[in-house]
Amino acid sequence: MIRTLPCSPLYINGYRLYILLFYVFLIMPLVTICVLAFNDSNFIALPWNGFSTDWFFANTNERLGLFKDTDLMLSVWTSLKTGFCVALLSTIVGTIAALLFEEEQFRLKGLLYFLALAPLVIPGVVLGISILLSSTYAGMYMEDHFGLSFEFLGPSFWLVVIGQFSFGATYVMLLVGARLKKFDRVLEEAALSLRATKLEVIRLITIPFLKPAILGAFVVAFLISFSNFNTTIFLVGSDPTLPVDLYSRIKFSSTPVLNAVSFMIVGFISFAAMISFVMNRNKK
Amino acid sequence: MKKKRSSTFYLLMAPVLLWLILLIVIPHLDMFFRSFRFESDNGAMVFSLNNYLSFFEDQIYWLTFVKTALYSIGVTFLAFVVTFPVAFYLTKVVAKKYSSFMVLLLLIPIWIGELVTIYGWMILLSDNGVINNFLVGVGLIDSPIVMLYTNFSMTIGLLYMSMLFMIIPMMSALESLDDSLIEAASDLGASKWTIFRQIIIPYTTPGIASGGIIVFMLVIGDYVAPNILGGKSSLWFTEQIYNKFLATFNWNEGAAFGFLLLMLSSGIIWLALRLTGQKLEKVGS
């Protein structure tokens, strides 16, 4: 049953078979996309017509490859920009929130912490529409009463950033907070007794200790932003992010260029995962 | 406990308050109030329950609502059944040198993102997709069977995109389970089933609960899998909300629907927390 207990070969082999099937289930869609990205065909699925890199590089009437498709490259660029802004904002505010909830005692702390966790249990769609509703209302109000028009209050690049930040900060807070729980308070007290100010302690002692967690949280926030669809779809303006662009292509005009984009994403993520795996192993 | 606050405290408090009030509290209050606004015959906005009445009067809305709720619970249970053996295998059975690599493989689909993996399933399940070609090739079936745009394909998609979020909390619960407890029970002659039911399950309940809540939340609020894999016959409540906002532009009714979805998901999560004796604070960690 467990490593130290002997059990029948039938049981252990059956168990291994199940695990194998599970992993096949897991990687099947990814492998399929990666293989079909190189299919010499105008349709997204089978049959296999031979190897081709047309859907990456071609620029003909029939086939527009990924790197020649300016709309697609533009949405990749939008997603990268959005991801960076969201990650930066979420990391800053999420880290501050983690420090606040771990270090300080104040009234209504429980309520505020509950609110900070709320994005975990609010469906992404609901978060999207509620931010859309209130920001457009605020925009109308500003225009009616002050004659000011703010582009970011309507569906736009910055509204997407705001919307994704609203839950990105929660994840950062949890990741940084988990690391902060392992922090030795004596270090802070020592610094304080040596007349460092509270802010100096945070800047010179706490933040350096948290640095790996903060960097990790930045990457997580970026990836969450890069792949988000459910919230983004309600907030997006004239410049779609990659998932929004992919979605409308899947629904209305699917060509194998979708496979090519997916191949790039799968390849990049797998590569990054392997790098982090090897680096972690070498550290040990 | 009255003491003077340092300026650092306010420096930390300000951005957090701005985040929570401007982006969490106000939007949801706004959504709540908007859901009672209704355009009367003379074009003025009045307070009314009409947005909610239309939900109950139109059968398709509340049927979708009930279906979404039941399917979400079903998929959550399915995710538990499918992934629990995997979580157990990775923490207790497989040799330690393999387990970290196998865990890494679990994370890759999460980071790739839902849209790409769901798209992969669309190719796998379509009529001239990989699975149909394989089954015809092997000779199990004569002609392709329709799998895409059914409840079956939708369930597969929902399961695939959510189940991995359940493994990780279950693994961290299992990791803290001392092997000697299982060994002792085994020495005393307990069967595998007894060990599973009386030791492993009670011990991992916190992990199962937090994983289950995350899965349930992801499934009930999902739009991509039902919309891409589900087709016309399998409506999801998020699709109704989407239509209200981006197709018919009836935002007030959409707000009412959004509020109903929020009530449904938080209601079921609250119930699950009560039944398992958990706290939301622990789900986060």
Return mean pLDDT, chain A: 83
Residue A220 shares a structural domain with residue A271? no
Nearest residue on chain B to A122, alpha-carbon basis: B262
Dist CA A142 CA B125 (whole Å): 50
Q: How many domains does chain A have?
A: 2
B268 CB contacts (<8 Å, ≥6 apart)?
B69, B72, B73, B216, B220
Q: Do B8 and A202 contact (CB within 8 A), yes or no?
A: yes
Give the domain B51-284 fold.
Answer: MetI-like fold (1.10.3720)
Facing residue for A198 by CB, picked from B6, B104, B119: B6
Tokens of B203: 């011990």
Share of chain B above pLDDT 70, in %: 93
Taking each continuous run of H as one helix and of E as one strand, the counts in chain B are 15, 2
- A160, HSE (Cβ side, Cα atoms, 13 Å): 29
Facing residue for A123 by CB, picked from B130, B254, B261: B261
Which of chain A's residues have a Cβ under 8 Å away from the Cβ of B111? 223, 227, 269, 272-273
Domain boundaries, chain B: 51-284
Residue A23 shares a structural domain with residue A126? no
Facing residue for A22 by CB, picked from B86, B122, B123: B86
Facing residue for A230 by CB, picked from B23, B123, B223: B223
Dist CA B30 CA B285 (whole Å): 30
Tokens of A117: 């966790």
Nearest to residue B68, comparing CAs of B212, B255, B221? Answer: B221
Identity at A51, one-letter amino acid code = F
Nearest to residue B8, comparing CAs of A201, A56, A177? Answer: A201
Which of chain B's residues have a Cβ under 8 Å away from the Cβ of A243? 113, 115
Choice between B139 and B31, residue whose per-residue pLDDT is larger: B31
B30/A104 touch (CB, cutoff 8 Å), yes or no: no
> In terms of DSSP H, where are the helices of A104-231?
109-121, 124-146, 157-180, 185-193, 198-201, 207-227
Whether the predicted pLDDT of B78 surpasses 90: yes
Residue A203 shares a structural domain with residue A284? no
A126/B262 touch (CB, cutoff 8 Å), yes or no: yes
Residue A79 shares a structural domain with residue A175? yes
What confidence tens digit (pLDDT) does each residue in A255-272 have? 778 888 888 888 888 888
A21-35, B3-17, B152-166: least confident range: B3-17
Q: Do A58 and A68 contact (CB within 8 A), yes or no?
A: yes
Structural domain containing residue A272: 1-64+258-284
Which of chain B's residues have a Cβ under 8 Å away from the Cβ of A133? 27, 30-31, 34, 251, 255
pTM over 0.90? The answer is: no
Identity at A32, one-letter amino acid code = T
State the first-to-last Cα distance of chain A, in angstroms, to the nearest integer: 29
pLDDT band at B146 (very low <50, low <70, confident <90, very high): confident
Tokens of A18: 């199940």
Whether the predicted pLDDT of B1 surpasses 50: no
Residue A83 shares a structural domain with residue A8? no
Residue A208 shares a structural domain with residue A265? no
Choice between B58 and A78, residue whose per-residue pLDDT is larger: A78
Q: Do B11 and A199 contact (CB within 8 A), yes or no?
A: yes
Tokens of B247: 């197709």
State the first-to-last Cα distance of chain B, in angstroms, to the nearest integer: 29
A20-24, A47-51, B11-15, B119-123: least confident range: A47-51
User: Distance, in angstroms, between B113 CA and closest chain A CA?
Assistant: 5
- B203-240 in b/e form (b: 16+ CB < 10 A) is bbebbbbbbbbbbbbbbbbbbbbbbbbbbeebbbbbbb
At residue B281, the pLDDT reads 61
Average pLDDT over residues A39-66: 70
What confidence tens digit (pLDDT) does each residue in B108-133 have? 888 888 888 999 898 888 877 778 77
Residue A128 shares a structural domain with residue A51? no
Residue A58 shares a structural domain with residue A90? no
Angle of helix B201-220 relative to helix B151-175, nearest 10 degrees? 140
Residue appearing with tokens 């157990």: B88
Q: Do A47 and A41 contact (CB within 8 A), yes or no?
A: yes
Give ipTM to 2 decimals.
Answer: 0.83
Nearest residue on chain A to B252, alpha-carbon basis: A133
B93/A3 touch (CB, cutoff 8 Å), yes or no: yes
Dist CA B211 CA B233 (whole Å): 29
- A49, HSE (Cβ side, Cα atoms, 13 Å): 13
Dist CA A36 CA A260 (whole Å): 8
Tokens of B147: 């799998």
Domain at A162, CATH number: 1.10.3720.10
A77 CB contacts (<8 Å, ≥6 apart)?
none
CB atoms within 10 A of CB A214: 20
Average pLDDT over residues B76-88: 91
